[in-house]
Amino acid sequence: MTENDAAARTLSIDIGGTGLKMLVLDPAGTALNERQRVETPRPATPGAIIEALRGLIAGQPEFDRVSVGFPGVVHDGVIWTAPNLDTSWRGVSLAKALREITGKPVRVANDADVQGYASIEGSGVEMVLTLGTGLGSALFVDGRLVPNLELGHHPFRKGRTYEDYVGKPAFEEVGKKKWRKRVDRVIAQVEPIWNYRLLHLGGGNAKHLHADELPMNVRLHSNLGGVLGGIALWKG
């Protein structure tokens, strides 16, 4: 069986600033097991995370290929940035490391890009923001990805970036109510710039938002999207 076989099973991995998650998907994108999770090692060096992934992989059902969502800029399976993990990630071929562990073909993409594949409708301009340890972002046009959009590190207010403003440390500092207002301000800022048809909000902290308090063109999504979108990396 090849990685492009219509019957291929995909091991989908989501590497986050606070947790490492994975599960196996069937060809239709349906989960074949319960999502497994462990805390992200600290310091979050390549060696520590790869060893933690090795342990999780050993307990997964049979699979034919591997998809990975990574919190940073990724080019051809090689990590360029990892702002919420460790500076030593730059230049590491995560795809190669996981190929050596699994013996399977591997594709790696930015984690917000993967979340987006699980969330978008595929029509017009759609933006994805993931609210977790940091702020991930992705942009799609008619279902096609504009890769490695790093909106989170762009200046936003009073010398702070978007990520500084609504990332996990900000959530813990100001509390849920004020944090929600900050998310509202972020939405109000990005909408007239990108003019998206839909904005999709995911990530671990999206659960603290209420759909009925958001604009009509904003959708909330489960954090499971970080792994459920993995199968899309093998399409096209």
Structural domains of the chain sorted by starting position, each given as residue range(s) with its CATH number in brackets: 10-113+227-234 (3.30.420.40), 121-221 (3.30.420.40)
Residues of the chain with pLDDT under 50: 1-2
Instruction: Describe the crossing of helices 94-102 and 46-57 by its angle, rounded to 10 degrees.
Output: 30
By residue count, the chain amounts to 236
Measuring CA to CA, how many Å separate 120 from each of 139, 155, 199, 219, 225? 10, 26, 9, 10, 11
Q: Which helix (H) or strand (E) holds 55?
A: helix 46-57
Share of the chain above pLDDT 90, in %: 80
Q: Where are the beta strands (DSSP E) in 111-231?
A: 125-131, 135-141, 144-146, 155-157, 160-161, 198-202, 218-220
For 139-163, what is each residue's pLDDT tens digit?
Answer: 999 999 998 888 999 999 888 999 9
Candidates 195, 234, 230, 173; CA nearest to 14 is 230
pLDDT value of position 226: 74
Q: How far apart are CA 44 and CA 18, in angstroms?
A: 10
Please name every residue paired with 216 in a beta bridge, in sequence order, or none if there are none. Answer: none
Cβ count near 170 (within 10 Å): 18
Q: How far apart are CA 126 and CA 143, in angstroms?
A: 8
3-state secondary structure of 12: strand
Share of the chain above pLDDT 70, in %: 97
pLDDT value of position 1: 44
Contact 166, 179 (CB under 8 A): yes
3-state secondary structure of 86: coil
